[in-house]
Amino acid sequence: MKIFSLNSALFAALIALNAVVAVKFIQSQKSLGYSLQINQARNRIYTLNNMKIPENLKLLPNNKELDSNFSSQISKSDYSLVILFEPTQCGACLEEKILWNDIYKSGTMPVYAVTYLKDKQELNKYLSDSKTEIPVYQDTSAVIGRHLLPEGVPVKLIVNKKHEVIFVDYVRRTEKERNAFINMLKYFKNNN
Short-list 151, 37, 139, CA closest to 92: 151
Helices (H), 30-154: 70-75, 91-106, 120-129, 143-148
Q: Tell me how far apart the terminal alpha carbons of the chain are, to the nearest angstrom.
A: 38
Residue 159 lies in a domain: yes
Measure Cα distances from 84 to 13, 23, 32, 68 in Å.
26, 26, 31, 17
**Beta pairing class for 111-115 and 136-138:** parallel
- Which pLDDT band holds residue 47 (cuts at 50, 70, 90)? very low
Instruction: Give the three-class secondary structure for 155.
Output: strand
pLDDT score of 93: 81
Looking at the domain assignment, is residue 132 inside a domain?
yes
170 in any annotated domain: yes
Coil, helix or strand at residue 146: helix
Does 151 map to a domain? yes
Residue 6 neighbours by CB under 8 Å, 6+ apart: none
**Region of poorest pLDDT, from 41-50, 114-123, 139-148, 168-177:** 41-50
Q: Average pLDDT over the chain, rounded to whole?
A: 78
pLDDT at res. 35: 35
The number of domains in the chain is 1
Alpha-carbon distance 103 to 178, whole Å?
Answer: 10
Domain presence at residue 7: no
Q: What is the pLDDT of residues 114-149, one digit of tens each?
A: 998 889 899 999 889 989 899 999 998 888 888 887
CA 127 to mean position of chain CA atoms: 19
**Residue at 136 is within a domain:** yes
Note the pLDDT tens digit of each residue in 91-114. 888 888 888 989 999 888 999 999
- Domain assignment of residue 74, given as a range: 37-190
Q: Is residue 108 in a domain?
A: yes
- Residue 138 has a pLDDT of 93
pLDDT of residue 167: 82
Decide: helix, strand or coil at residue 187: helix
CATH number at residue 141: 3.40.30.10
- Is 32 a domain residue? no
